[in-house]
């Protein structure tokens, strides 16, 4: 059973498991299905906040329970309570759980000198923020600790995913460059020398990690990342290539000169790069795609969504809320003014 099956990662995971021979039940709030799934996949309507409904959906039991939408410690306790009916589980976590040696993490990044300085790459042994219910990161840590403590009853693989990308994303960072190409912007400004690195992971690579963990049950934590962690300049160039477009890149040393000029959804003062060695050793992980190879599918989906909406904010409201609360992510007027002064 896959909970959150019609979400971005859930769609790819259901397909990967079904193609691997699993008898899959795709559970989601709406009970829908993806056109790419084989007919053998059963869909089920499920509100995971309803403990009784989840228990009923699991029924007499299942060999594997995959949870894409565990966001609170109580969700971990839900799963642990089903340990006598579930063979093993795979639960999605996040790179945001990590904390640097000075106590900085994703929750402090907007504070002065608050962006974390992680080792490069970050191993799973890196310290995490404290468990709690205040932020997304602290809640993910609480989930991890609850489930690892229940390992004697329910073997669980926790996947600490990087910057997830692919079709059906509610906050697609790639939109930043795709929309600029569609708007005919031939020049882009990138702060920090365009060298920002925030390790991405394709939905297909996350699905592969789930597939491998399903075949090797155990209680563990593994990072989830693509085979490479491209810089933001390399990401922009890759999207140009996927769309048959050419842009001039103006690089700025240091932070954005006049925000939002030079600011992108990948803005990271210091690199966030995941060590994938443990996943390779524990699970035999080999990525099924690269960032560049996966882009055409993502770009096509983004273009289709944009064509069907009056405004990009209508097509991607969560993206707008997370990365453009001031309404100026695509402030071309400010960018042109800054470029005119520079030149």
- CA-CA distance, 172 to 119, in Å (whole number)? 26
**Within-domain flag for 32:** no
Considering its fold, how many domains does the chain have in total? 1
Query: Average of pLDDT values for 21-49?
Result: 96
Residue-wise pLDDT for 169-183, tens only, equals 999 999 999 999 999
Q: Calculate the average pLDDT of the chain.
A: 96
Confidence at 300, pLDDT banded by 50, 70, 90: very high
Statement: the pTM of the whole predicted model exceeds 0.85: yes
pLDDT score of 159 = 98
Q: Collapse the DSSP code of 29 into the 3-class scheme (helix H, G, I; strand E, B; otherwise coil) and give the result.
A: coil
Tell me if 223 is assigned to some domain.
yes
Each residue's pLDDT tens digit, 270-292? 999 999 999 999 999 999 999 99
pLDDT in tens, 120-173: 999 999 999 999 999 999 999 999 999 999 999 999 999 999 999 999 999 999
Q: Looking at residue 29, what is its pLDDT?
A: 95
Separation between Cα atoms, residue 6 and residue 120, nearest integer Å: 34
Which residues span the domain enclosing 142?
70-342
Residue 47 resides in a domain: no
pLDDT (average), residues 39-62: 96
Instruction: Give mean pLDDT, residues 295-321.
Output: 96
Assess if residue 107 is contained within a domain: yes
Handedness of CA 315, 319, 324, 328 (dihedral sign): negative
Cis bond upstream, residue 260 (ω within 30):
yes
- Tell me whether strands 187-190 and 248-251 are parallel, antiparallel or unpaired: parallel
Q: Please tell me the least confidently modeled range out of 53-57, 133-137, 339-343.
A: 339-343
pLDDT confidence of residue 234: 98
* 328 confidence band (pLDDT: 50, 70, 90): confident
pLDDT exceeds 90 at position 326: no
Give dist(CA 265, CA 323) in Å, integer: 6
| Share of residues in the chain with pLDDT > 90 (%) | 97
Q: Coil, strand, or helix at residue 190?
A: strand
What was the pLDDT predicted at 327? Answer: 80
What is the average per-residue pLDDT within 62-69? 98
| H/E segment holding residue 321 | helix 317-323
Does residue 83 lie within any of the structural domains?
yes
Over range 42-55, report the average pLDDT: 95
Q: What pLDDT is recorded for position 156?
A: 98
In a domain, 22, yes or no: no
- 57 lies in a domain? no
Q: Which H or E run includes 257?
A: none
Percent of the chain with pLDDT over 70: 100
Residue 215 lies in a domain: yes
Q: What is the CATH number of the domain that holds 166?
A: 3.40.50.720
pLDDT at residue 221 in the model? 98
- pLDDT of 343 reads 76
Q: What sign for the dihedral angle of Cα 174, 177, 178, 179?
A: positive
| CA R_g for the chain | 20
CA-angle at 126, arms to 124 and 131, nearest 5°? 95
């Amino acid at each position: 059973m896959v909970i959150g099956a019609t979400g971005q990662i859930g769609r790819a995971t259901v397909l990967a498991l079904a193609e691997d021979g699993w008898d899959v039940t795709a559970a989601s709030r709406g009970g829908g299905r993806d056109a790419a799934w084989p007919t053998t996949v059963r869909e089920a309507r499920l509100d995971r906040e309803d403990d009784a409904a989840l228990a009923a959906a699991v029924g007499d039991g299942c060999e594997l329970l995959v949870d894409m939408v565990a966001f609170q410690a109580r969700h971990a306790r839900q799963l642990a309570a089903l340990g006598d009916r579930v063979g093993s589980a795979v639960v999605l976590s996040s790179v945001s759980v990590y904390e640097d040696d000075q106590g900085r993490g994703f929750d402090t990044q907007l504070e002065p000198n608050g962006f974390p300085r992680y080792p490069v790459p970050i191993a799973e042994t890196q310290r995490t923020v404290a468990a709690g219910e205040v932020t997304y990161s602290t809640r993910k840590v609480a989930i991890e600790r609850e489930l690892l403590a229940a390992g004697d009853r329910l073997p669980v693989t926790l996947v600490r995913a990087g910057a997830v990308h692919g079709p059906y994303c509610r906050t697609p960072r790639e939109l930043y460059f795709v929309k600029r190409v569609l708007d005919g912007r031939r020049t882009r400004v990138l702060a920090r020398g365009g060298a920002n690195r925030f390790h991405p992971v394709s939905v297909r690579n996350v699905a592969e990690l789930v597939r491998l963990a399903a075949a090797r049950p155990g209680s563990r934590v593994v990072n989830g990342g693509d085979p490479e962690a491209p810089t933001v300049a390399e990401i922009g160039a890759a999207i140009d290539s996927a769309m048959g477009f050419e842009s001039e890149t103006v690089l700025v040393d240091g932070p954005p000169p006049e925000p939002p000029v030079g600011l992108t959804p990948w803005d990271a003062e210091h690199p966030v790069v995941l060590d994938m060695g443990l996943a390779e050793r524990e699970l035999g992980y080999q990525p099924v795609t690269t960032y560049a190879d996966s882009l055409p599918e993502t770009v096509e989906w983004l273009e289709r969504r944009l064509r069907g909406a009056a405004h990009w904010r209508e097509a991607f409201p969560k993206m707008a809320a997370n990365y453009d609360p001031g309404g100026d992510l695509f402030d071309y007027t400010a960018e042109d003014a800054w470029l005119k002064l520079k030149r």
